[in-house]
Amino acid sequence: MSAYLIKGDHGAVLVDTGIRLHEAEILAQLDELLETDEPLSIVLTRTEMECCLNIPAIEEHRRIDTVWYTGGITVPRSTASVQRIAVEPGTWREVEVREGITLHFISPLLRLLPTLWVFDPASGALLTSDAFTHLAPPVEDTASADPMAGLHKFRWFGDADTHSIAADVRQIVRERSVAAIGPGYGWPVTGADACRREAELLAVCLEEVGAR
């Protein structure tokens, strides 16, 4: 499982905070990457446990200015300013999350609950929450990856017309200079060619599992 830190000249943005099991590691990594008084904002790709549970622990150690999230579920208690942002499914918004860091908040069609994919134009990183997780190897076989592994939570696709969802995956990657894809769990993808290839693989899988 992964959280991602975007550094700017006037502070940083943490995309997701991880689960409590990883609290010590997350705090240690933040201490390594941030100055003691460096301003920090948080973006939640989803308001599910693996995304938000470490907010209180992080806030005990450093000041959090703002928590950005989508959907209708409240985030864990925080003294930070909480900014709920609505993005229509299949669209995106450009948001200056903090001074000097402007991100694309994308609402993908590939989702269960309200979800944000986060694109950082400065680095070319596309952070995809619970999608593009198909590069996580099966537990019983770490030598190979199952292209369908990341779709197991989306079983309803078998009863749906998934062509528009597949097209949306292709469009999100095609319209941006994506240099890396960072899922919430599983291995990241690096390199523009590899990102386009994995997006096409995911789109094809979506089309294949959908109702005919």
Question: Do the Cβ atoms of 119 and 175 come closer than 8 Å?
Answer: no
Question: Do the Cβ atoms of 154 and 112 come closer than 8 Å?
Answer: yes
Please, which pLDDT band fits residue 145 given cuts at 50, 70 and 90? low
Q: For position 146, what pLDDT does the model report?
A: 57
Q: Is 50 helix (H, G, I), strand (E, B) or coil?
A: helix
- Nearest CA to 55 out of 36, 70, 74 is that of 74
Q: For position 140, what pLDDT does the model report?
A: 57
Integer Cα distance of 172 and 26 in angstroms: 29
| DSSP single-letter state for residue 43 | E
State mean pLDDT over 64-80.
81
Return the structure tokens found at 87: 């993005």
Most confident of 18-22, 160-164, 174-178, 201-205: 174-178
Please state the pTM of the whole predicted model. 0.90
CA angle 182, 183, 188 (to 5 degrees): 50
Instruction: Express each pLDDT in 154-167 by its tens digit.
Output: 777 888 899 999 99
Given a cut of 80, whether residue 143 has pLDDT beyond it is no
Question: Do the Cβ atoms of 172 and 117 come closer than 8 Å?
Answer: yes
State mean pLDDT over 52-75.
88
CATH topology for 4-209 is: Metallo-beta-lactamase; Chain A (3.60.15)
Instruction: Express each pLDDT in 56-65 by its tens digit.
Output: 999 999 999 9
Integer Cα distance of 189 and 125 in angstroms: 10
- Nearest CA to 46 out of 152, 156, 183, 138 is that of 183
Return the structure tokens found at 165: 């969802």
